[in-house]
Structure 1
Amino acid sequence: MSETEESRDPQPERPTRPAVVRGLRRRCPNCGQGPLFEGYLKVADACPVCGEDLHHHRADDGPAYLTILVVGHLMAPVIHVLFVRLRPDPLVLATLLTLGCVALSLYLLPRMKGLVVGIQWARRMHGFGGAA
């Protein structure tokens, strides 16, 4: 890296792995203590413990796509095994799989949003920790 590049980015690098783990736990990516969300999916404007500004995030549709990807890959083998081995009534199969997919989606969605916010914080994206 040249000297001019170093002078443009004087901020120390933030570790990505701890920020991602904290996001998955729905905690502040900076301190890991304060809650990341004010509600189910509403990201807090700032961490109540360390004061880190969190309103910069731009999670948009990323967490929903990640959730669909994970739920689809986890439920596909379940569908196959249930259909091939147990042969339940189609209405029972549809009901069980619907409940499983909805429950898993509701569980994963805030965690995926925390993961995306943690990555954005660690990489200083969208105004996190740097000049606008």
Structure 2
Amino acid sequence: MPEIPTNTPGGGGDKLPPPIHSGLYGCCPRCGAKTLFRSYIAFADRCPNCGLDFSAFNVGDGPVVFLTLGIGTLITILALWVEFTFEPSFLVHALLWIPLSLLATVLMLRIAKGLLIALEFRNKASEGRIAPDE
């Protein structure tokens, strides 16, 4: 079993906070301080507590794609169930599912982005490099 990295450069000290805390509570993946986000879904530039540079991580659009597909599937299943059970008008579907889809995606986006940045930090993920031929 690999050893979990610690939050100090020398290797001693406390263990890293669980990755889910970065998403749920906005905790820094190194020190656990609630400094990951500067607004609801925008990352801070760095952690004022431990100095970890958050701009070095590349979360990109990965969380949005998975959330859109997952939530879209769930909303589609629910919309079909409502249609076949209650047979409401199209307007009821539009007023119900469009706001619900947007709200669920935006609410889950913070958790997904925080989790992804914590996993990048924990696994030391970086851009792939091709070694030069010797």
The TM-score, its normalising length taken from structure 1, stands at: 0.75
Aligned residue pair count? 115
After TM superposition, list the pairs within 5 Å mapping 1:1-132 onto structure 2: 13-14=4-5, 18-19=18-19, 21-25=20-24, 26-126=26-126
Q: Which runs of 5+ in 1 are unaligned?
A: 1-11, 128-132
Shift of 1:49: 2.6
Query: Higher helix fraction: Structure 1 or Structure 2?
Result: 1
CA distance in 2, matches of 1:39, 1:126: 25
Q: How far, CA to CA, are the matches of 2:70 and 2:78 in structure 1? A: 13
More deviation, 87-96/26-35: 26-35
- Would you identify which runs of 4 or more consecutive aligned residues in structure 1 move more than 3 Å? 12-17
Shift of 1:17: 8.4
Separation of aligned partners in 2, 1:81 and 1:35: 41
Alignment RMSD, CA only? 2.3
Q: Is this contact kept in 2: 1:43–1:54, CA < 8 A?
A: yes
Q: Which stretch of structure 1 is more off in the superposition, 27-36 or 83-92?
A: 27-36
Alpha-carbon displacement from aligned partner over 1:63-94 (angstroms, at most 9, x marks no partner): 11121122123212211221111111111112
Q: Gaps (5+ residues) in structure 2?
A: 6-14, 128-134
Q: Deviations over 1:13-47 (max 9, x none)?
A: 4389812x122212211222222111233211211
Q: Which TM-score applies when normalising by structure 2?
A: 0.74
Q: Percent identity?
A: 26
